[in-house]
């Protein structure tokens, strides 16, 4: 039977006992007495537990046990004969005394806690105390101490020998492991050569280093175990270090025991986390397959662009993982501890501060995708940069310039810049390419328009529908400015198309003897600025009719 609280009579006797033994009287209110919790502590002498005592909130069991242990130790050091110890039974307390000196005593709640009478409890405690005092005194005799020193020196010598043997043993094992790994690699290479297959991806140095690392770990653990056993033996030989003997092994085994018990206790949570991991993994695979099918056109959703598949998959994947983490958080080991909460808060703060710019780039990237600003392969101009879109990453956009340069533009900068997309409408309506020429007033404008349209018809890779057209842009001081407009559906080739178009304009105007007046001039030259046909292919130019000229595709 273990009562939940001390009786008032027992507590009163305990207080009187403290007063009689020199302990100051403690102020105990009636409410504190009624709420006193049961707690026990061991009375220890030289690492041996003699008995256990209980306490109250005003006089904790640990404090009471230490006081009793100090009295017993003082009695043992004084050299007083243990035969002087006797049991004195009083109405409220049973004491163990030596002459007029009280060592300790028991009240009724102590006896009730043990399920025996106070007298029987005191007799048992007296017997254990006498035996412990005898051992305490014997352990401190010169003969026993000299013998302990001899054993300690022998243990130290044995430790030195064991350490030397272990080092030699592991050095031998390391050499054998190196030879074994080398032989395995050579046999694998020979087999690969015989079969005609590529040799296995094995590196001798890395494999040998891995084996040696494992051996070094085993050597370190073995040496630590041997040293701990040595300390446990040596500490147990001397009375002053004997309490540390068990603690040496407890330094290792207590954490291992706690980790083992905690692991067993966490098995239900680990089972839940395992099931959650498998479910989330299945969902992520299902999401990837679904959006891959949408991206490649196998699945078509009305109003959902195929180019939205990859960014939408990334968003849904992130939300799925975040939702899984929210569910898993209460089941994570140590999630309820203040340390875990503090580390989580610190990590979140650091992440939020470090990823502010990255987050803005990512949001801008998704906004560009869903706004259909451009797609991979489109030719665009962003600010002053012109190129073909190679990749739309979450944070940046990669362009390939007309000179095959890679241009990396942050998505947040794209959001704040003017974007010209040459490809979007070219697929449906055609992109209008235009160029201007200045022709003198003496040349009929109808002739100029016809020559410009003729040059357009000679230029390949242009659309015939809609047909090209000419605009009169300006009646300048010295010439009329004409603008030729043509349609094409290949914006990525506009540089080459412009080159071919300008070549054909020059050829047509030379054929019909019409001088191009740009840049402007102040007076007519003595001879028209024309290139006669016989000089069109002066060296090093080559006549395509004779040689079959292949022109370079500039910017293609």
The pLDDT value given to residue 433: 92
The region of weakest confidence among 4-13, 62-71, 372-381 is: 4-13
Backbone angles phi, psi at 431, to 5 degrees: -90, 135
User: Rounded CA gap, 298 and 295, in Å?
Assistant: 8
Band of pLDDT at residue 161, cut at 50, 70 and 90: very high
What is the average per-residue pLDDT within 382-407?
85
User: Rounded CA gap, 57 and 394, in Å?
Assistant: 63
Q: Where are the alpha helices (DSSP H) in 266-355?
A: 267-295, 309-328, 338-354
Top pLDDT among 508 and 308 is at: 508
Q: Is the pLDDT of residue 13 over 80?
A: no
Q: Does the domain spanning 431-547 belong to CATH 3.40.50.300? A: no
The pLDDT value given to residue 279: 92
Q: What angle do CA 165, 171, 176 make, to 5 degrees?
A: 125
> What are the residues whose beta carbons fall under 8 Å from the beta carbon of 378, sequence distance 6 or more?
388, 389, 421, 422, 423, 424, 491
Band of pLDDT at residue 192, cut at 50, 70 and 90: low
Task: Round to the nearest angstrom and report the end-to-end CA distance of the chain.
Answer: 96
Tens digits of residue pLDDT in 199-246: 555 555 566 777 778 888 888 888 888 888 888 888 888 888 877 776
User: Rounded CA gap, 409 and 436, in Å?
Assistant: 32
Top pLDDT among 280 and 553 is at: 280
Tens digits of residue pLDDT in 80-115: 888 889 888 888 888 889 888 888 888 888 888 888
User: Rounded CA gap, 228 and 251, in Å?
Assistant: 9
User: Rounded CA gap, 107 and 279, in Å?
Assistant: 62
pTM of the model: 0.43
3-state secondary structure of 49: strand
The pLDDT value given to residue 340: 67
Ranges of each domain in the chain = 8-138, 142-265, 269-354, 363-421, 431-547
Exposed (0-12), middle (13-18) or buried (19+): which is 434, by Cβ within 10 Å? middle
The pLDDT value given to residue 457: 92
Band of pLDDT at residue 34, cut at 50, 70 and 90: very low
Q: What is the largest CA-CA distance in the chain?
A: 147
Structure tokens that stand for 352 in this block: 């939020």
| Residue 368 contacts residue 414 (beta carbons within 8 Å) | yes
User: Rounded CA gap, 545 and 375, in Å?
Assistant: 41
The pLDDT value given to residue 540: 54
What residues are paired with 51 via a beta bridge? Answer: 43
Cα dist from 193 to 20, 364, 539, whole Å: 95, 54, 60
What is the average per-residue pLDDT within 410-430?
82
Band of pLDDT at residue 523, cut at 50, 70 and 90: low
Q: Does the domain spanning 363-421 belong to CATH 3.30.465.10? A: no
Tens digits of residue pLDDT in 43-73: 988 878 888 888 877 788 888 899 998 999 8
pLDDT, averaged across the chain: 79
Picking from 403, 374, 367, the residue whose alpha carbon sits closest to that of residue 390 is 374
């Amino acid at each position: 039977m273990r009562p939940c609280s001390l009786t008032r009579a027992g507590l009163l006797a305990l207080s009187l006992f403290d007063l009689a033994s020199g302990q100051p009287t403690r102020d105990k209110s009636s409410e504190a007495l009624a709420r006193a919790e049961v707690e026990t502590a061991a009375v220890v002498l030289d690492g041996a537990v003699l008995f256990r005592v209980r306490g109250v909130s005003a006089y904790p069991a640990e404090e009471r046990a230490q006081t009793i242990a100090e009295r017993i130790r003082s009695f043992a050091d004084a050299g007083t004969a243990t035969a002087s110890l006797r049991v004195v039974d009083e109405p409220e307390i049973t004491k163990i005394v030596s002459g007029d000196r009280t060592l300790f005593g028991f009240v009724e709640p102590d006896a009730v806690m043990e399920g025996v009478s106070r007298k029987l409890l005191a007799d048992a405690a007296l017997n254990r105390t006498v035996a412990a005092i005898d051992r305490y005194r014997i352990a401190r005799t010169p003969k026993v101490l000299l013998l302990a020193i001899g054993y300690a020196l022998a243990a130290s010598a044995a430790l030195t020998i064991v350490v030397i043997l272990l080092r030699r043993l592991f050095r031998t094992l390391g050499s054998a492991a190196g030879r074994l790994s080398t032989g395995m690699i050579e046999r694998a290479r020979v087999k690969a050569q015989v079969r005609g297959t590529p040799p296995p991806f094995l590196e001798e140095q890395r494999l040998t280093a891995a084996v040696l690392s494992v051996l070094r770990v085993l050597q370190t653990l073995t040496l630590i175990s041997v040293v701990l056993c040595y300390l446990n033996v040596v500490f147990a030989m001397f009375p002053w270090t004997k309490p540390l003997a068990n603690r040496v092994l407890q330094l290792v085994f207590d954490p291992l025991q706690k980790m083992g018990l905690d692991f067993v206790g966490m098995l239900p949570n680990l089972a839940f986390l395992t099931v959650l991991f498998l479910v989330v993994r299945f969902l992520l695979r299902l999401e990837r397959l679904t959006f891959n099918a949408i991206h490649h056109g196998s699945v078509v959703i009305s109003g959902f662009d195929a180019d939205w598949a990859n960014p939408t998959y990334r968003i849904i994947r992130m939300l799925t993982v975040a939702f899984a983490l929210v569910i898993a958080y209460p089941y994570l080991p140590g999630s309820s501890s203040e340390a875990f909460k503090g580390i989580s808060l610190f990590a979140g703060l650091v992440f939020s501060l470090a990823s502010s710019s990255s987050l803005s780039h990512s949001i801008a990237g998704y906004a560009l995708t869903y706004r259909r600003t451009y797609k991979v392969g489109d030719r665009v101009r962003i600010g002053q940069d012109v190129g073909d879109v190679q990749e739309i990453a979450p944070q940046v956009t990669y362009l390939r310039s007309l000179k095959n340069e890679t241009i990396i533009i942050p998505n947040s900068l794209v959001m704040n810049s003017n974007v010209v997309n040459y490809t979007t409408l070219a697929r449906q309506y055609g992109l209008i390419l235009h160029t201007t020429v200045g022709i003198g007033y003496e040349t009929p404008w109808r002739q100029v328009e016809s020559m410009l349209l003729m040059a357009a018809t000679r230029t390949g890779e242009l659309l015939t529908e809609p047909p090209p057209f000419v605009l009169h842009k300006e009646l300048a001081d010295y010439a009329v400015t004409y603008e030729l407009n043509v349609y094409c559906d290949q914006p990525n080739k506009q540089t080459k198309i412009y080159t071919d178009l300008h070549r054909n304009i020059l050829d047509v105007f030379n054929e019909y003897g019409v001088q191009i007046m740009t840049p402007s001039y102040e007076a007519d030259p003595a001879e028209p600025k024309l290139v006669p046909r016989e000089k069109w292919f002066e060296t090093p130019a080559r006549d395509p009719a004779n040689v079959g000229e292949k022109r370079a595709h500039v910017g293609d």
